[in-house]
Amino acid sequence: MPSQSTRIVYIAGYGRSGSTLLDIALGQHPAVVGAGEITSLTRHVWSHNEYCACSHPIRDCAVWSTVLQEWSKGWDSTLMSEYCALQQKFEGLPMFMKVFCGVGLGKQFAPYALHTKRLFDAMLSCSGRQMIVDSSKLPGRAMALAQIPGIDMRVIHLVRDGRGVAWSLLKGYERDEKSGLQKEIRPKSVFRTALRWSIVNLAVEYLLRKLGPQKVMRVRYEDFASNPVEIMREIGTFLELDLSEIGSTLQNGRPIGPGHQVAGNRLRMNASIALNKDEAWRTRMPAGQQVSFQRLGGWMLRRYGYL
């Protein structure tokens, strides 16, 4: 396993904000593994044999089957279920309360930290690359990863106009495993989205206070979609990578291909993907619903420059 610090790029924020697309874009760099929502790998992707972005069920994917074989080497068959239980304990928002209140993480954090780092190191060892993108988004998971010795993590706080997020979540989708929809997605109310969008983004902001500005940067999805050259330049400086070629590819409208992302947006199942600002909500979302979102989340919209 690598002896140096394990480098992780963690994309944090709320769903439907472009995290899968940014993950795929960063994964175009030859030193980077764009892995998708890694938290889901052991929670349900492997046990349900869900599809990898390579279009194969995860257990038939040469990459992930090799990684999981390496990770579980020397451990008994209960590793996956036991680790999943540890994830449930340490990757939720309650993790924030423990850190915020200065409460000890307890003895169970040590095995969580051990197996999490082992999984990352197996991914790097099997891929031959130097950095992993984890687009799990959960701020609690980011806080947990920050407590693990030997992990050098940078956090990208990805924000999208909450009204666009709410409009996207108003639509429901039937289960379609091969297209990346592993379960039925039911419509979410504007009120629910506004509340959760605000809470999650505030939680991610706490990461900046806790980890410091050198470890966390904020990116608005709309800026990324409008000017990928500049945003990829800024992200490249933050991560100490040359991402200029990727930025130019996106700026010129040339499609990019996914790698082996797990979970996340169903667009990962497309053979080629183009950057799209997607602001249909401005004309298609009823004015009443936009106003409803602004009543609860307007102060956060102003915070991020959307009002």
Please say whether the beta carbons of 184 and 171 come within 8 A.
Answer: no
Torsion of CA 176, 178, 179, 181, to 10 degrees: 50
pLDDT value at residue 2: 43
pLDDT value at residue 3: 53
pLDDT per position as a tens digit, 243-277: 999 999 999 999 999 999 999 999 999 999 999 99
The backbone region for 47, taken as left when phi is positive above 0, alpha when psi lies in -120 to 50, beta otherwise, is: alpha
Please say whether the beta carbons of 261 and 53 come within 8 A.
Answer: yes
3-state SS assignment for residue 248: helix
**How many CB atoms within 10 Å of residue 3?**
6
Q: What is the pTM of this model?
A: 0.96
Which residue type occupies 28?
Q
Which positions of the chain have pLDDT values less than 70?
Answer: 1-3, 179
Among the listed residues 190, 185, 86, 177, the one whose alpha carbon sits nearest the alpha carbon of residue 140: 86
Cβ-proximal residues to 282 (8 Å cutoff; 6+ apart), any chain? none
**How many CB atoms within 10 Å of residue 24?**
25
Beta bridge partners of 194: none
pLDDT value at residue 1: 40
What whole-number distance in Å separates Cα of residue 233 and Cα of residue 236?
5
Cβ-proximal residues to 222 (8 Å cutoff; 6+ apart), any chain? 160, 161, 277, 279
Beta bridge partners of 151: 6
What whole-number distance in Å separates Cα of residue 216 and Cα of residue 54?
30
What whole-number distance in Å separates Cα of residue 92 and Cα of residue 109?
13
What whole-number distance in Å separates Cα of residue 294 and Cα of residue 150?
42
Strand order in the sheet with 32-34: 32-34, 131-137, 6-13, 151-159, 216-220
